[in-house]
Amino acid sequence: MQDQPTPVELINAVAEFLRADVAPQLSGHAAFKLRVGLNALDLVVRQLTHEASGDAAEAERLSKLLGASGSLEDLNRLLSARIASGEMGFQTPGLTEHVWQTTMDKLAIDQPNYASYRRERDT
């Protein structure tokens, strides 16, 4: 669908209203709860904006690593089973890189201001 505004635009508009108009009127615990809510809205925007491409890249890496195809969930289950059985481990070519990139992609959505993430992203 091409309806406007998009979900991301709607969420951003609500978040901006809360930041600009509501936050200055609050203090103490109510202000804290508002910041928690705003952080959640920011997280949802990042998920809507970046999660699909990150999931597609993860599935592609897993398909190459495992020599298999399937849903992202199925591929992760297969990877987990192979690691649990000892068939794969960090000596497996490409596994460390896959885990690292998947972690970085997830941090970009969940904790983009995390100091260690920013340091690694910028190197």
Q: H/E element holding 83?
A: helix 72-85
- Under DSSP, the state recorded for 19 is I
The structure's pTM equals 0.80
Q: Quick check: is 1 in a domain?
A: no
Tens-digit pLDDT profile for residues 41-90: 999 999 999 999 999 999 999 999 999 999 999 999 999 999 999 999 99
Q: Quick check: is 76 in a domain?
A: yes
Residue 1 has which token pair?
A: 């669908």
Give mean pLDDT, residues 4-32: 97
Q: Quick check: is 115 in a domain?
A: yes
Q: Quick check: is 23 in a domain?
A: yes
Q: Quick check: is 93 in a domain?
A: yes
Rounded Cα gap, residues 116 and 122, in angstroms: 10
Residue closest to 58 by CA, chosen among 109, 113, 111, 1: 109
**Does 1 have pLDDT greater than 70?**
no
Q: What is the pLDDT of residue 17?
A: 98
Side-chain-side CA neighbours of 110 within 13 Å: the count stands at 8
Domain that holds residue 36: 7-122
Whether the link from the prior residue into 24 is cis, omega within 30° of 0, is: no
Rounded Cα gap, residues 104 and 102, in angstroms: 5
Number of separate domains in the chain: 1
Give mean pLDDT, residues 92-107: 96
Q: Quick check: is 98 in a domain?
A: yes
Whether the link from the prior residue into 5 is cis, omega within 30° of 0, is: yes
Q: Quick check: is 2 in a domain?
A: no
Q: What is the pLDDT of residue 3?
A: 80
Give the burial string for 9-41 (b: 16+ CB within 10 Å, else e).
eebeeebeebeeeeeeeeeeeeeeebeeebeeb
Rounded Cα gap, residues 89 and 109, in angstroms: 26
Q: What is the pLDDT of residue 16?
A: 98
